[in-house]
Amino acid sequence: MANRCSICGKDFQTGNLVSHSNIKTSHRWKANIRKVRVLVNGAAKKIRLCTRCLRSNKVQRA
């Protein structure tokens, strides 16, 4: 299952970790995803949300 927000679609970002000796290694930063019970069309349902959508009240918790 993808580590992706159901509301905004946020998922991982890629880039390089750079050491003090300037060696680059690839890295993935995962989105802060939580499984939350929310009201969808009047019914409670568990969906995956990023914490930014949760904090900005884009959904109503059940």
3 found inside a domain = no
Q: For residue 13, which amino acid is it?
A: Q
CA separation for the pair 16, 61 (Å, rounded): 37
For residue 11, which phi and psi values (nearest 5 degrees)?
-140, -155
Amino acid 2: pLDDT = 81
Residue 8 lies in a domain: no
Residue 5 DSSP label: -
Please state the pTM of the whole predicted model: 0.79
Q: What is the CA radius of gyration of the chain?
A: 16
**Residue 47: domain span:** 13-55
In a domain? residue 1: no
- 1 has pLDDT over 80: no
pLDDT by residue (tens digit) across 23-51? 999 999 999 999 999 999 999 999 999 99
Q: What are 4-29's pLDDT values in tens digits?
A: 999 999 999 999 999 999 999 999 99
Q: Total domain count for the chain?
A: 1
